[in-house]
Structure 1
Amino acid sequence: MTSQNLDQFLESNISDLKEKGLYNEIDTLEGANGPEIIIEGKKLLNLSSNNYLGLATHQDLKDVAKQAIDSYGVGAGAVRTINGTLDLHIELEKKIAAFKGTEAAIAYQSGFNCNMAAISAVMDKNDAILSDALNHASIIDGCRLSKAKIIRYEHSDMADLRAKVEEATGSGAYNKVMVITDGVFSMDGDIAKLPEIVDIAEEFDLITYVDDAHGSGVTGDGAGTVKHFGLQKKVDFQMGTLSKAIGVIGGYVAGKQSLIDWLKVRSRPFLFSTAVSPADAAASTKAIDMLMKSTELNKKLWENGDYLKKGLKALGFAIGNSETPITPCIIGDEKQAQTFSKRLREEGVYAKAIVFPTVPQGTGRVRNMPTAAHTKEMLDRAIRIYEKIGKEMKLI
């Protein structure tokens, strides 16, 4: 007999989430995650994917992945420190380092794993971490795992950051102090104030850590937010994923050779989890190579992002202050955001509602992610549907 306490806990809490409009229904795609998708037999215009450059379905990546499977099999077979390190992994890490302008890089199984691994490998209970208030959940969890003192500063508020840095460093209570921020904030699309953050870090000898999951492939002509500001030599940790603009799966940290050497002997997900598959490593390397050789896809992404923003803003939707192709349509009330998303889907646009705890309560939204694979006709169709539903719900 299963636990009655567990059953009561699950039933009451799931019911509560549904009542508040906070329960997330998971949809199943019947095919590839491209600019258009099929769910329950219906074709939908897809504005919810992180596949920014359309590389997840790119033929060149599929070809190298198939070749890797034929040569190496479907799995690495072991953790990296035993005999799971393939020459494909070494090639990938060299390519990432060249892409990010650093001495070296280390590849992980996911971006979430990176933050769990890297932060706790360097920071401990005798240290402090200054973390932006809107940092990703994986950063928050990585900071907690390290047992360091977590000091939250107001989102992109440099005066608040400076004040808290002065307090932390002036107390003499901590051996090391780190400042950590997303490069691009995924819910609002704004970019971290990295030049100001680096200036403060240099003044107080802080360790700098930038999570560029939504910046790699997007900002800096594709090379990321650190490159966007020309700060490759001044940021200690450049972290990113291989699963968004890169189009595959996995994550990485790029930095000095000594840092990467340390992470390879002290970061637990690297030590105790099987390496990414040969196909994933080969496809990721190919994607990065493409981005280093051409900015065509990057330019198309920005063009489409600007086009969608202009269209939605002209209709009167609140789209926030995004500085990237990420285009939030802020509704406010969580239930209304869920209803808006549902109506969009009924009319042929798949744009998921984002509600608490992913965003603060009262800021429910539909987040649009235009990609390089969308055509102008697709975006025009989306704008027309937004207009129809917005007027129907009296949002515009």
Structure 2
Amino acid sequence: MTASFHDRVAAELGDIEAQGLTKPERVIASRQGPVITVGGRQVLNFCANNYLGLAGDERVVQAGIRAQEGWGAGTASVRFICGTLEIHKQLEQAIAGYLGFEDAILFAAAFDANGGIFEPLFGAEDAIVSDSLNHASIIDGVRLCKAKRYRFANSDMADLEAQLKQARADGARDIVIATDGAFSMDGYIAKLKDIRALADRYDALIMVDDCHATGFLGPQGRGSYAHHGVKVDFVTGTFGKALGGAMGGFICATTPVVQLLKQRARPYLFSNALSPAVCGSSLEAIRIAGGEEGDRLREQLFANAARFRAAMAGAGFNLLPGEHPIIPVMLGDAKLAQDMAARMLELGVYVIGFSFPVVPRGQARIRTQMSAAHTFDQIDQAVAAFTQAGKELGVI
């Protein structure tokens, strides 16, 4: 590598640091959970996607161990060559059945699921109408597709209808509306009842990324569309959040759609199969989430979110409104968000400051996330720490 290249990389890193945008990597020396070990001490964890508290659950852990003992560390191959195991088929059947679909296809990551769904299904004659706050993986997946692209303001149904009208006027063969079921940086839940009505009016399909909904939103945790009582055509999701916390993604759809994706989706065709340990843990997490225990965990999760939200608002913090367990504490300035997160860690609470390019400039925040595993006492401790740090830094 040339010296000029290294100089340019160093200059860019320096610029990121000067803007307060450096994202520190803090090493965790324990299982994921409401209390974790960081820097040799135990701290409260309020920033994981561990919605149901299953990431460190012993049953989920042991299910993964048993799967690895039976199937090995991995397949050393992609699925269509010699990489499909019985446990892969079991997981596809389990997630499709849990979410109410005919079939499912697995991916190494949810990013790959969103990267692989559009190109095989839609061509230059088609149109994708995408919410402006959609996850980066949806944006990248749309870019890989030759379909015409249309964008509507976040959850703005008038703008969505205008884009649908334009797509129809432009002669689109098929139109798909793409949206997050719950928007990960804001905690907003998509207006899927209204989207469903517009899709029916303009003969459009609906694709929902339910990474931040599967397992805990709607009846039995079936997701954002179940929360609103509507049907959608495609759901993408992850086993890396509520359903075990490991990794791996999926697409649920009709059997013919899944069959076509298995023939054409590049992240599926050119990536190794999901590891047996992840499959085993995910199967156990689905079993728990879909049963009576899952109902109890969901009830606790939303009780925790309501308690935290009310206490933080009462303390004077600026929160984005909503009902989701994602509760952003808005700070605006990127350096302030990093300073706040650092002070919170000193006070025994692990949170992360989010800034550009993860969120828009001027909208830096600490995105707190509730878990069913949190106790009310832990929530109260976190609020007390936020209040102390907020007063010290002039936030409240």
TM-score with structure 1 length normalisation? 0.97
Q: Deviations over 1:328-373 (max 9, x none)?
A: 1001111111111111111111110011111111111001111011
Q: Give per-residue Cα distances to partners, 1:35-83, cap 9 Å, x unaligned.
A: 1111221221111111111111111111111111111111123211122
Q: CA deviation at 1:217?
A: 1.2
Is 2:214 aligned against 1:216? yes
Q: What does 1:312-331 correspond to in 2, within 5 Å?
A: 312-331=312-331
Distance 1:176 1:157 in 2: 21
Which of these residues, 237, 255, 259, is aligned with residue 240 of structure 1? 237
What secondary structure, in the 3-state scheme, does the structure 2 residue paired with 1:56 have? Answer: coil
What is residue 306 of structure 2 aligned with on the other side? 306
Could you tell me how far apart the structure 2 residues matched to 1:17 and 1:187 are?
A: 21
- 2:287 pairs with one of 260, 264, 289: 289
Aligned-partner SS, 1:131: strand
Alpha-carbon offset, residue 253 of structure 1: 0.7
1:65 alignment counterpart = 64
Tell me the distance in 1 between the aligned counterparts of 2:8 and 2:130: 32
Q: Following the alignment from structure 1 to structure 2, what is the Cα–Cα distance between the partners of residues 178 and 305?
A: 33
1:166-245 aligned at under 5 Å gives the runs 166-172=165-171, 174-221=172-219, 222-232=221-231, 235-245=232-242
CA distance in 1, matches of 2:103, 2:309: 37
Aligned-residue sequence identity (percent) comes to 39
> What do the CA deviations read for 1:243-276 (whole angstroms, capped 9, x no partner)?
0001222111111111111111111111111111
CA distance in 1, matches of 2:166, 2:368: 39
Q: Structure 2: how far apart are the matches of 1:145 and 1:42?
A: 45
Q: Deviations for 1:216-265, whole angstroms, at most 9, x for unmatched residues?
A: 01210311111112223xx1101111100012221111111111111111
Deviations 1:305-324 (A, max 9, x none): 11111110110101111220
Supply the distance in 2 between the matched residues of 1:195 and 1:5 (Cα, whole angstroms).
Answer: 54
The number of aligned residues is 392
CA distance in 1, matches of 2:344, 2:134: 29
Render the CA deviation track for 1:159-197: whole Å, top value 9, x for unaligned.
00101110111121x332211000001111110010111
Q: How far apart are residue 5 of structure 1 and its match?
A: 3.3
Q: Which consecutive residues of structure 1, in runs of 5 or more, have no partner in the other structure?
A: none
| 2:246 corresponds to 1:251 | no
Alpha-carbon distance, 1:84 to partner: 1.0
What is the DSSP-based 3-state SS (H/G/I as helix, E as strand, rest coil) of the residue aligned with 1:296? Answer: helix
Structure 2 Cα separation of the partners of residues 150 and 321 of structure 1? 30
What residue is the counterpart of 1:381 in the other structure? Answer: 381
Aligned to 1:163: 162
Q: Distance in 2 between matches of 1:24 and 1:127?
A: 39
Match of 2:146 in 1: 147
CA distance in 2, matches of 1:5, 1:194: 50
Cα distance in 2 for partners of 1:316, 1:147 equals: 48
Tell me how far 1:106 sits from its aligned partner. 1.1
Q: Distance in 2 between matches of 1:314 and 1:368?
A: 16
Partners of 1:181 and 1:286 in 2: CA distance: 28
Q: How much has 1:278 moved relative to structure 2? A: 0.9
Runs (4+) of structure 1 moved beyond 3 Å?
Answer: none
State the secondary structure of the residue aligned to 2:329.
strand
1:132 partner amino acid: D
C-alpha separation in 2, matches of 1:349 and 1:150: 42
- Measured in 1, the distance between the counterparts of 2:325 and 2:228 equals 18
The answer for the alignment partner of 1:42 in structure 2 is: 41
Q: Which amino acid aligns with 1:351?
A: V
CA gap of 1:29–1:262, structure 2 versus 1, over 3 A, is same
2:372 counterpart residue number: 372
Query: What letter matches 1:215 in structure 2?
Result: A
Rounded Cα–Cα distance in structure 2 between residues aligned with 1:6 and 1:32: 39
Name the structure 2 match of 1:107.
106
User: Could you tell me how far apart the structure 2 residues matched to 1:377 and 1:82 are?
Assistant: 52
- Structure 2 CA distance, aligned partners of 1:126 and 1:10? 41
Q: Within 1, Cα distance between the matches of 2:321 and 2:117? A: 31
User: In structure 2, the residue corresponding to 1:284 is in which secondary structure?
Assistant: helix
